[in-house]
Amino acid sequence: MTVVSNIEVVQGAKDQKPLLEEELTLVRPDGSEVKSRKKANENQGAGAYTTSYSMTMPTGVPQGVYPVKTALFMNGEKVASKDMSMQVVSLPGGEMVAFAR
């Protein structure tokens, strides 16, 4: 599964160069969370940025719907978030497929 975010930042006249970070949270079937956080703008400035998280589903993961959350932080403060869900399906040949909805 791959989650891609497109982020656009307009710098204010008096603001410092903003530091953007994005956090992805995947909720496991037992309710525990796996989080990953990374910089979205290496140059710490205004512009258009794309972040991408890729993950392989572990063997034997149960079918079902799993919550996925993303959060955008600017200079350490949360400024945006989005919740979605990921559907995991087992195909007849045993292959597992995941897609966001």
pLDDT, tens digit (0-9, with 9 covering 90-100), for 48-67: 888 888 877 667 778 888 88
* Residue 34: CATH number of its domain: 2.60.40
Count structural domains, the chain.
Answer: 1
Structural domain containing residue 36 = 2-100
Q: What is the pLDDT along the chain (101 residues), one digit of tens a residue?
A: 778 888 888 877 776 788 889 999 888 778 888 888 988 887 777 788 888 888 776 677 788 888 889 999 988 999 999 998 888 888 888 777 777 76
Q: Which H/E stretch holds residue 12?
A: none
Task: Decide: pTM greater than 0.75.
Answer: yes
pLDDT averaged over every residue in the chain: 83
Q: What is the pLDDT at residue 49?
A: 86
Q: What is the pLDDT at residue 101?
A: 67
Q: What is the pLDDT at residue 71?
A: 94
